Chain A
Amino acid sequence: MDVYLPIANLSVNGLWIVALGALTGVLSGLFGVGGGFLTTPLLIFYGIPPTVAAASASTQVTGASVSGVIAHSKRKGVDYRMGAVMVGGGIIGAGIGALLFRFFRAIGQIDVVINALYVVLLGSIGILMARESLQLLRKSSGTNQAARRRHHPLVANLPWRWRFYGSGLYISPLAPLIVGIAVGILTMLMGVGGGFILVPAMLYILGMSANVVVGTSLFNILFVTIATTIMHSLTTRAVDIVLVGLLLIGSVTGAQFGSQLAVKAKPEILRLVLASIVLLIAFRMFLGLFYQPDEIYTVYPL
């Protein structure tokens, strides 16, 4: 089924794009991540221009996170106060990200920067997750869960504390704001929702209670990807609505199957699987930095 993408300026096989959307949808349903970290590189690999891929992937993540947010808010799994602070940070971050994007594009290093970011972030998070899930698997035979971690000492030192009832925290709002800004920058640069960074940051840096982490993360992703879509529409004009539609058809159905699967599978195994997928992508992109690229020359319109 040939579909012409009016913004990307080329025709693609629509079924492949829907299948790609479904794959990321299953992942997001299973693991509570947006799946943008998989969509963007695969779209680029398929031949979609990188800017269009990043912009459209962030719009797709909006759709993939909506039903998750609704489901989590029904069982009170969203800390709206924390979420709002992070969204505020995320919007500031998206603005900074747009400036950085323009800067790196002007000096011609945007593709190198994006690749390097992917390698560093996916690599370190993949290793963290793999190590933790392996430890959990070994331990799960006997002892009960490890004691809940307090937040990072640096966070405790920040002034001007607020109470976050949903998360069970009394900390400065500056900490989630900074986390939000960082994720916003990454969303704009990499076309990812940032769930795979947010969830560990909320657990290990802020020390939020585990039952609101996924819901609040999805809440943040929802609003930050909305902001990035608008930002892209105004600056790069690279959101391809036809591409978004195709990806969404796959991902919204895939997400439902993914969440049904998630109920049946063991969480430690799920995390290990996610960790290996993340590491695999990081490794592939790592090699890409050092191997001679397919294209030595790249064209930038003036």
Chain B
Amino acid sequence: MRALLLLFAALMLSGQRDPVLVPEVSQHDVQVRQGFTGTELLLFGAVLDPAGRAGQDYDIVVVLKGPSEPIRLREKERFAGVWVNADSNDFRSVPSYFAVASSRPISEIVDAKTAAIYEFGTGYIQMSPSGSINPQEQERFSLGLVDLKRRQGLYKEDFGGVQISEGVLYQARISLPSNVTTGTYSAETFAVTRGRVIASAVSEVEVRKVGFERFVELSANQYGLLYGFVAVMLSVLMGWGAGRLFARL
């Protein structure tokens, strides 16, 4: 907050006429625990205009991105009548989650080039593909991946999802489904006017497993053998216990 105020003051002093964004997220710490069915984040904030021109026609675009991971995408093809995995393509940085919301359709706010630079839309995500050189093939793989993630509820676009009131305050609701990856998410906010991004700001959201869920994940990954024995004991005891219980009835 203090840094933002300093920045704000500096901008005021320098006579910079571009506005300043003050973003905030309703939850900086999303806890994945028992009964977690997803959550809704409220991304909100204000656009401060040093020149005091309220009611300027800004557009706001917010982009929420999950931690990136390298993946291999495989494509099924019909081979002798049977669907088998054929081609594959690697992507070095695929965001595990990607959501973009804007106050108006992106095509009305910026041109395609700007949209591509700032990743305004699931079609513009920079995933660093590697492997295939053919751009057409790469395009096909990228589209397939985005479509898959979209149907899993992990990639979404909500053009019109940002509400701006009085040209100063904005807010957008973005939902996280239960199958999100844990890690550090970045929420970027952009103020756009006349096709130009004039201000941007980033804040972070930490999604993490807590309590029993974290304990289970840690044990499974670090103490595999012990975890396996506990799982076996659980099944044996439950099977044996039920047998005893029903034998008495």
Contacts and interface: CB of A to CB of B under 8 A. Distances in A.
29 contacts: A6-B213, A6-B214, A6-B217, A10-B179, A11-B36, A11-B178, A63-B238, A63-B239, A65-B239, A66-B235, A229-B231, A230-B228, A237-B224, A241-B234, A248-B239, A249-B238, A252-B239, A252-B242, A253-B242, A253-B246, A289-B83, A290-B83, A292-B78, A293-B76, A293-B83, A296-B144, A300-B74, A301-B72, A302-B69
A147 interface: no
Contacts of A203: none
Name, among B69, B71, B84, the residue most crowded by chain A CB atoms within 10 Å (CB to CB). Answer: B84
A44 B89 CA distance: 24
A135 interface: no
A178 B220 CA distance: 32
A248 B85 contact: no
Given A2-B35, A10-B179, A242-B216, 16 more contacts: A6-B213, A6-B214, A7-B216, A63-B235, A66-B236, A70-B240, A112-B84, A112-B85, A244-B235, A248-B239, A253-B242, A255-B239, A290-B82, A293-B83, A295-B76, A296-B144
A299 B71 contact: yes
The 10 A-B residue pairs with the shortest CB-CB distance in the complex, in nearest-first order: A233-B228, A67-B243, A66-B239, A63-B235, A252-B242, A11-B178, A63-B239, A10-B179, A230-B228, A256-B246
Interface of A: 2-4, 6-7, 9-11, 59-60, 62-67, 70-71, 108-109, 111-112, 116, 226, 229-234, 237, 239, 241-242, 244-245, 248-249, 252-253, 255-256, 289-293, 295-302
B236 A62 contact: yes
Contacts of A253: 242, 246
B82 A7 contact: no
A249 B237 CA distance: 11
Nearest to B245: A256
B15 to A, nearest CB: 50
A248 B220 CA distance: 19
A164 B47 CA distance: 84
Interface in B54-107: 69-76, 78, 81-85, 88, 90
A4 B32 contact: yes
Nearest to B181: A9
Contacts of B75: 296-297
Given A4-B34, A233-B224, A237-B220, A108 B239 contact: no
Nearest to A1: B35
A66 B38 CA distance: 37
A67 B242 contact: yes
Contact of A59 (B33, B37, B85, B235): B235
Contact of B232 (A10, A226, A295): A226
Contacts of A229: 228, 231-232, 235
A189 B239 CA distance: 24
Given A248-B235, A298-B73, A302-B90, A6 B240 contact: no
Contact of A230 (B81, B88, B232, B240): B232
B156 interface: no
A10 B153 CA distance: 12
A245 B232 CA distance: 11
Contact of B238 (A10, A112, A232, A248): A248
A298 B239 contact: no
A62 B147 CA distance: 39
Contact of A239 (B70, B81, B144, B220): B220
Given A64-B239, A66-B235, A108-B85, A241 B71 contact: no
Contacts of A230: 225, 228-229, 232
Contacts of B83: 112, 289-293
Name, among A7, A9, A242, A292, the residue most crowded by chain B CB atoms within 10 Å (CB to CB). Answer: A9
A245 B78 CA distance: 39
B242 A60 contact: no
Interface in B188-242: 209, 212-214, 216-217, 220-221, 224-225, 227-232, 234-236, 238-242
Contact of A3 (B35, B238, B239): B35
Contacts of B224: 233-234, 237
B205 to A, nearest CB: 18
B232 A62 contact: yes
B85 A241 contact: no
Nearest to A291: B83
Given A62-B236, A70-B243, A252-B242, A233 B37 contact: no
A249 to B, nearest CB: 8
Nearest to A10: B179
B112 interface: no
A233 B225 contact: yes
B145 interface: yes
B223 to A, nearest CB: 9
